[in-house]
Structure 1
Amino acid sequence: MRKRAGPVFAAILAGVLLSGCLGDPPAASGADWPGYGGPVDEAHYSPLREINAGNAAKLGLAWYHDIDVGPSSLSAPVAVDGVLYFAAGYSVVHAMDAATGKELWRYDPEAPKAAGRKLRAAWGSRGIAHANGLIFTGTIDGRLIAIDAKTGKPRWSAMTIEPDDSRYITGAPWVFGDKVVIGHGGADFGPVRGYVTAYDQKTGKQAWRFHTVPGNPAEGFENKAMEMAAKTWTGEWWKYGGGGTVWNAMAYDPKHNRIYIGVGNGAPWNQKIRSPEGGDNLFLCSIVALDADTGEYVWHYQTNPGETWDFNSAMDIELAELEIDGRKREVLLHAPKNGFFYVLDRETGKLISAEAIVPVNWAERIDVETGRPVERPEARYPAGKTAIVYPSPYGAHNVEAMSFNPGTGLIYIPVLDQGRAYTDPSGPLAEWKHLDGQRLSVGTGTPPADLKLRPASSALLAWDPARQREVWRQSYPGMRGGGGTATTAGNLLMQGRATGAFVVMAADTGKTLWSFDAQTAVMAQPITYLAGGKQYVTVIAGSRFQGAAGLEREWNYHTQQWRVLTFALGGTAKLPPAEPVDVPIADDPAFKVVPARASLGETVYGQRCSICHGPTALSGGAAPDLLRSAMPLDFDAMNTVLREGVLLERGMPRFEELSDDEIAGLQHFIRKRAREVQAADPRASVSRGHNEGQ
């Protein structure tokens, strides 16, 4: 008969089970969550198991914190040594006691004051990183800032972009060794050539920079990689910038000392403009492996050669060890926008397998021998023709984080099923040009008005990457119904929902174990960590997208509350009651809509306003709902906001170039839409408050 372990041995054993081994650093043990991708293999996975499938039903709210700056709903926190850090709004970094929610410090880089037209990108920070006692954050005006993690005082600031260009930063920095690397966005707003830059963590001095697309050959090439890439472009692509921004995901591989970067789409989207005779257009829509010390090119894998649909590869890059065909393989897992799930060999970059995870019609399959897609020619919308392409530019998988659990062997992917009609713009393609600061750089035209696509849908997909097959899924109505995910060794899978639920599931089956009403959409990815020896889960709640639950309008900008929510076993905190607030559609019967002015206003709205206020003028929570605002009824008020920038510090950009006619056109278009919505649904005259649609 085996003797029971003594208390000392039991305590040691518990520590080993919790940490993996006694020598593990806090990140590897799961005690900390120091970066966007989590403590292990960038997989949004934690080895913690104090909270597990057997006791998750005992979870409760430990504490919450109301965020007073926005937008911030897609921001991923980090946690180190019992302190929780997060960036809200435009990179306003907060430090809080992770066990109690007490604010320790706050640092505001005052990015809106410096951003100018970059505010038109309309995003706040999606994440930060911690290393060597420093918090690193990027800003929308292009700075990379190192902040003392204890005091909240800035140590150094580096401007990562060029003066007056269209670049900006919304993504998280990545840290490794003594370096921190940052990318940027902006290719949809101006002539941008993408790159990533590494800086010394202590000093902020630039260590290396890698461009993702070649520049003008007449000016020479920075390295052999750019010389090679230039052979895959045609025409005068450099005049358009080329694109290829690394605006979201990267991954650090300590075994090979590499940083993998996920490269974005071309600028403009339409390849017939930027590279008129075709070509692969390296390194657009690629995973590129770089030497972490020098930034030198190692290998690349391109998911969409010569892409023309905005199918970028800027989404999660996660590392794993899988048993494939009877042997262990070190792999890289990637689900870009294009609808296929890729498994690559980490050492060589060679394709192991790729299969579709949603309905796809731009390609028949991915050829494993060549690594290239077998495209359907009609998907490239030949001249004079319109093509309905699946997925849409929102992608089969977007910024909502997927996660990989080595225990279940499954990867959990928030997927979208939506199509888009593509056609060339009217007039000669050679006359196309960027209009700086406006979202007009895609180079595609308006499809026929009577063209109908099937309704969009979304799901949480549990996928077996070794066998490339679906294991289970949970479907949601409408587009973007689920947020980012995280998973743990306790057989947990965590995800927020657009309807306002934060859900903890069994990672092997998808069975719901526990759910919390967050009173607003939860689209950011959660994290889990230890504070005072106890396991906590934190997620940031707040709506960012519209129509996610199958409704045109769900969360009200003025009545929802962005919050940090932290949970633990036995938590007893309560949110304040969600009081419904009536916000009627604003109107003035004396205001006469002039159709010609409304038509002009619709064009202006689509170019400048829709990214924040919603494509149909129904906001989903990221910005005020203009149909319910009295401000558009007053020309002087519109002028003060749009041209004078009175709300600049609150994130509302200036549009100083707008004419009186264009501002008046916006007034007429907004009134037209308000009356259309009210006529279609008289209930829309009154907002149904926080919990509408649940």
Structure 2
Amino acid sequence: MRVASLTLPLLALLAACAPSGQARRDGTDWPGYGGIDENHYSPLKDINDHNVGRLGLAWYQDIDGGGSSLTAPIAVDGILYYASGYSVVHAVDATTGHELWTYDPQSWKVADQKMRGAWGSRGIAYDNGAVYVGTIDGRLIAINARTGHKLWSTQTIGKDDERYISGAPWVFNGKVLIGHGGADFAPIRGYVTAYDQKTGKQLWRFHTVPGDPKLGFENKAMAMAARTWTGEWWKYGGGGTAWNAMAYDPKYNRIYIGVGNGSPWNQKIRSPGGGDNLFLCSIVALDADTGEYVWHYQTNPGETWDFNSAMDMELARLKIDGQDRDVLMHAPKNGFFYVIDRATGKLISARNIVPVSWASGIDVKSGRPIENPSARYPGGKAAIVYPSPFGAHNIEAMSFNPGSGLVYIPTMDQGRVYIDPAEPLQGWKHLDGQRISVGTGAPPPGVTPDRPATSFLLAWNPVTQSEAWRIPMPGLRGGGGTATTAGNLLFQGNAGGKFVAYTATSGKPLWSFDAQTAVMAQPISYRARGKQYVTVIAGSRFPSAIGLPREWNYRTQQWRVLTFALDGKAALPKVDPVDMPVIDDPAFAIDPAKAAIGATVFGQRCSICHGANAVSGGAAPDLLQSGVPLDTASMKDVLHNGILRERGMPRFQELTDEEIAGLQHYFRQRARQVLAAQSAGQPGAQTHRGLNEGQ
């Protein structure tokens, strides 16, 4: 653990504005992932659609230290908190950007394997004078919001457990709740756990899928769920991880859990006789005090496409058919928008927000989808399914504005080819120490989605289940998280490097800011010392440059916290284009057989961060620009000795000398392919240019 030193002036400042208790609910504070009401909405209107043209940068802070940051910040009593890299928590003065303290849990020291599957913290939470953060190695930590010192730490997973935490905690009633991820990389059984805010003592735990029936069930809900599974699902884990969003409902004193996909994806493996496989791809309502099951709504019974329901949930009161209803609104990956009665869990309405092929609609009476049987790729036949596993809506948060009555959804329209693998069905394939799911196979030659992938910002009317307006976004996944305010404003960043304010009612763009890199994290708005601010974190976290509207280079882009206010006068440093050349050694003789070995290793272990075909999108260094692969000793220092672990690069101690040599040959092969394409001036050839700060 590392806490930054505090100077006497900063200590005095901190004492003057330090949080001392519960967050305020009037819009002054933004204490958790969803804001004050889970809607990513601020009731503040000092900044509004009439004066937003005066919005300017109040201050910025560079984020260094390695790793990406897609965190939703929080703000309480004039202090802004955010996480960077592997759950390093920062506290800064919200009016000036002066850093007050930093807490580093140093997860990189103990989480090599898990660093390969999770890219850091998506959010933190504040309550009763403490900031709460989950770590990649499974800890939940409470930090004194005034001093930055650890109050307590508890391990939420078992020894040698392959779970990890990347999602935000949720706080309520003196409790803090956390889930976990990991089901796409190991045989995991999901659960959420509630802890006492003061002591870190475990209060209750709810599993999201049933375990081995021979061991008994934890509660009646698990016994009920087990009747919807077949075969020996527990040997595959089952999945159902609550890795992202939840929502607390104070009116009913319930916590709603967004549950993930099956593990493995392909239902024929984990549950060969079919069944609904509760509570996969569901919203589960639990009693917030006891963790007891209240109701559930399953968006994809027996899912087999990675259509998880871990996306955020908005809570509102809407007038539907002349009657006021307490509703939960949800847009999971599967392409439908759901309005659900919070009291009963019954479906009120559902409609697709993009064209979908896996179902023709949702039957309101039963709440079940009207499935297209061919979408389940039966009999080894390939199926083009819309949406893709990236979903129509993913982790980029949507928001709801009660003034406009609209929900704002970062939306994607893209498909995926599904087919059973060529080899016999199996749950997990071991690759020298790393598991991957092999539940689906590679698409047959020539079978591709039948329309180009697109993305857009969608304004959706949840009462009429209809589109109000849309704005095209740059790239395949071009729209960042959203936040909306009582000033009739909607804020969203995009993959093209702009942070934009729109009119919430009409979508008219009113103001924009060049962030010099992609802006995909969700913004927040709050008041500090009587003034309204808007904060967002900027930085390209894309693994691959394929489909991006412009190139973002890991080495030259600068991750930053950007904070705006009316009449802000700060400015980012000037940037100048800089060539980032592809490196090659003409004397290096490529062995195609070795390059093929390297291509396999890269695809299985490296592409998740360094990009498909070694084309980086900013999440990690472009390895074709690096001299490290030219030197075997340097490769082993990184891969075996882990000299860059603190910067976010995990060790791969299981790689053999043959595999490391294969990577070297693969990188030279790809480098020459890219250089040849550039020399020929081929459209779309990778340019390997970046941005560099000028003096």
| Coarse TM-score class (shorter-chain normalised) | over 0.9
Instruction: Return the match for 1:558 from 551, 555, 579.
Output: 555
Contact map agreement 1:324 1:466 (CA 8 A) in 2:
yes
> Where does residue 542 of structure 1 map in the other structure?
539
Q: Within 1, Cα distance between the matches of 2:181 and 2:415?
A: 24
Q: Within 1, Cα distance between the matches of 2:231 and 2:543?
A: 39
Contact map agreement 1:367 1:373 (CA 8 A) in 2:
yes
How many corresponding residue pairs?
667
Per-residue deviation, residues 66-93 of structure 1 (Å, max 9, x unmatched)? 1113433311100000000011111110
Q: Does 1:578 align with 2:575?
A: yes
Contact map agreement 1:362 1:389 (CA 8 A) in 2:
yes
Q: Does 1:677 align with 2:679?
A: no
Q: Does 1:360 align with 2:356?
A: yes
> Where does residue 252 of structure 1 map in the other structure?
248
The change in CA–CA distance for 1:363 and 1:120 in structure 2 (over 3 A counts) is same
Q: Which segments of 5 or more consecutive residues in structure 1 lack a partner in the other structure? A: 1-24
With 114-123 and 259-268 compared, the bigger mean Cα shift is at: 114-123
Q: Within 2, Cα distance between the matches of 1:200 and 1:98?
A: 29
Deviation, structure 1 residue 627: 1.2
With 214-223 and 421-430 compared, the bigger mean Cα shift is at: 421-430
> Where does residue 462 of structure 1 map in the other structure?
459
Q: Does 1:72 align with 2:68?
A: yes
| SS of 2:691 mapped into structure 1 | coil
Per-residue deviation, residues 384-431 of structure 1 (Å, max 9, x unmatched)? 211111101000000000000000000000001111111111222157
Q: Does 1:391 align with 2:391?
A: no
Per-residue deviation, residues 557-578 of structure 1 (Å, max 9, x unmatched)? 0000000000000000011001
Deviation, structure 1 residue 320: 0.6
TM-score by length of 1: 0.94
Per-residue deviation, residues 316-353 of structure 1 (Å, max 9, x unmatched)? 11101111111111000000000000000001100011
Per-residue deviation, residues 568-590 of structure 1 (Å, max 9, x unmatched)? 00000011001222210011112
Contact map agreement 2:236 2:263 (CA 8 A) in 1:
yes
Equivalent residue letter for 1:288: V
Q: Within 1, Cα distance between the matches of 2:545 and 2:509?
A: 20
Equivalent residue letter for 1:495: Q
Contact map agreement 1:174 1:180 (CA 8 A) in 2:
yes
Instruction: Return the match for 1:372 from 365, 368, 371.
Output: 368
Instruction: Return the match for 1:512 from 509, 512, 521.
Output: 509
Instruction: Return the match for 1:493 from 473, 486, 490.
Output: 490
| SS of 1:264 mapped into structure 2 | coil
> Where does residue 5 of structure 1 map in the other structure?
none
Per-residue deviation, residues 483-540 of structure 1 (Å, max 9, x unmatched)? 0000000000000011110001110011111100010000000000000010000000
Deviation, structure 1 residue 432: 4.9
Deviation, structure 1 residue 550: 3.7
The change in CA–CA distance for 1:353 and 1:436 in structure 2 (over 3 A counts) is farther
> Where does residue 656 of structure 1 map in the other structure?
653
Deviation, structure 1 residue 606: 1.1
Deviation, structure 1 residue 549: 8.7
Q: Does 1:594 align with 2:591?
A: yes
> Where does residue 622 of structure 1 map in the other structure?
619
Q: Within 2, Cα distance between the matches of 1:651 and 1:546?
A: 14
With 407-416 and 645-654 compared, the bigger mean Cα shift is at: 645-654
Deviation, structure 1 residue 383: 2.6
Deviation, structure 1 residue 675: 1.9
Q: Within 2, Cα distance between the matches of 1:691 and 1:551?
A: 19
> Where does residue 317 of structure 2 map in the other structure?
321
Contact map agreement 1:61 1:574 (CA 8 A) in 2:
yes
Per-residue deviation, residues 596-622 of structure 1 (Å, max 9, x unmatched)? 222221111111001100122111111
Per-residue deviation, residues 629-665 of structure 1 (Å, max 9, x unmatched)? 1111222221221122121111111111111111111
Q: Does 1:610 align with 2:611?
A: no
Equivalent residue letter for 2:453: A
Q: Within 1, Cα distance between the matches of 2:68 and 2:444?
A: 36
| SS of 2:328 mapped into structure 1 | strand
Q: Does 1:533 align with 2:530?
A: yes
For residues 107-122 of structure 1, the aligned pairs below 5 Å read 107-122=103-118
> RMSD over aligned Cα, in angstroms?
1.6
TM-score by length of 2: 0.94
Q: Within 2, Cα distance between the matches of 1:303 and 1:507?
A: 28
For residues 101-250 of structure 1, the aligned pairs below 5 Å read 101-250=97-246
Deviation, structure 1 residue 451: 2.5
The change in CA–CA distance for 1:82 and 1:257 in structure 2 (over 3 A counts) is same
Contact map agreement 1:166 1:436 (CA 8 A) in 2:
no
| SS of 1:368 mapped into structure 2 | coil
Q: Within 1, Cα distance between the matches of 2:379 and 2:523?
A: 45
| SS of 2:97 mapped into structure 1 | coil
The change in CA–CA distance for 1:163 and 1:171 in structure 2 (over 3 A counts) is same
Contact map agreement 1:167 1:187 (CA 8 A) in 2:
yes
Contact map agreement 1:476 1:549 (CA 8 A) in 2:
no
Q: Which segments of 5 or more consecutive residues in structure 2 lack a partner in the other structure? A: 1-21
The change in CA–CA distance for 1:551 and 1:291 in structure 2 (over 3 A counts) is closer
Contact map agreement 1:232 1:280 (CA 8 A) in 2:
yes
The change in CA–CA distance for 1:437 and 1:255 in structure 2 (over 3 A counts) is farther
The change in CA–CA distance for 1:233 and 1:594 in structure 2 (over 3 A counts) is same
The change in CA–CA distance for 1:434 and 1:183 in structure 2 (over 3 A counts) is farther
Equivalent residue letter for 2:364: V
> Where does residue 27 of structure 1 map in the other structure?
24
> Where does residue 11 of structure 2 map in the other structure?
none
